[in-house]
Structure 1
C-alpha cells in the first residue's frame, strides 16, 4: 500500500488530511513539524509527501529543499499545501523542488486526483529511467563485445 507523509503544524489539518487519505486507501504517517517529518522520512517507506508551507522552525519550503538534497529522498513526490496562494509562494515552492502546489481550501477530489497523478508520474519516470539504464548497459556491453581483442603478451608457437 502507498504511504503518504503529512507534515503540518495544525493538528486539525493533519487529522482531516489523514482521514481523507485513509478513505482513499493510503497509509498515512504524520508530523507536526519539519524535524518530525525528517525523522519519519529517515525510517523509509514513504511514497509521497504533503507539506504545509508554514511550520515552526524549518519551513515547508526549506523541508522540500532538504528532501531534494538527500540521495535517499531526492525523487520522493512532494506536494506543498498552503492557504497562502501568492504567486511568489508557489514559485518559491516549485524552485525548492516541489512537484505540485495545492491551495487551501481544496476538495477531496482535487487532492485525490493530484496525488494520484503525482505518484503515477514518479513511478512512470522511475520505470523509464530503469529501462534507459538497462539499454545503456546493454549497448556498452555490445560495444565491448564487438571491439577487436588486443593481445599484449607475446604468442609462442608450438611446433
Structure 2
C-alpha cells in the first residue's frame, strides 16, 4: 500500500483526510506543519504528499519548494490543497513544483483519482472493484458462448 503524508495544521482536516485515505487503501502519516513534514519525508517511506497551503512556519508551498530542491525527494508526487482558490495561489503552488492543486472542499473520488493518477496505482478498493468487474464480464461472456446456437455453415452463392 502506498503511504501518503498529510501536512495540515488543522487536526480535524488531518483526521478527516486520514479516514478518507484509509478507506481508499492508503497508509497515512501526518504532520501539523511543514517542518515536521520535512522530518518525516527525510526518514523515508512516503510515496506522496498532501500539503495544505496555510500552515504556521513552513507553508505548504515552501514545503513543496524544499521537496523539489532535495535530490532524494525531488520526484515525490505533491498535491497542494487549499480553500484559497485564487488563480495567483494556484499558480504559486504549481510554480513551486506541486504536481497538482486540489481546491477545498473536494470529494473522496476527486482525491482518489488525483492520487491514483500521480502514483500510477489503483487504491485497494478500486483495484478489487475492477477485478470483480473483469471476472463478471468474463463469466457473462462464457455464459453467452455456451448458450450460442451451433455454428451455421458458411453462406454459399449459387449461380
Q: TM-score range by the shorter chain?
A: 0.7 to 0.9
Report matched runs for 1:32-43 at 5 Å: 32-43=32-43
Report matched runs for 1:1-159 at 5 Å: 1-120=1-120
| 1: CA distance, partners of 2:47 / 2:7 | 14
Aligned-partner SS, 2:14:
helix
- Offset at residue 118 of structure 1 (A): 1.0
- Offset at residue 71 of structure 1 (A): 0.5
| 1: CA distance, partners of 2:58 / 2:43 | 19
Runs (4+) of structure 1 exceeding 6 A deviation are: none
| 2: CA distance, partners of 1:58 / 1:111 | 23
Highest relative contact order (Cα 8 Å, sep 6+), 1 or 2?
A: 2
| TM-score using structure 2 length | 0.75
| 1: CA distance, partners of 2:52 / 2:120 | 22
Which runs of no fewer than 5 residues in structure 1 stay unpaired? 122-159
Query: In the TM superposition, what whole-angstrom CA distance separates every residue of 1:27-56 from its partner, at most 9, and x where no partner exists?
Result: 000000011101100110100000000000
| 2: CA distance, partners of 1:82 / 1:32 | 15
Aligned-partner SS, 2:30:
strand
Q: How many equivalent pairs are there?
A: 121
Which runs of no fewer than 5 residues in structure 2 stay unpaired? 122-159
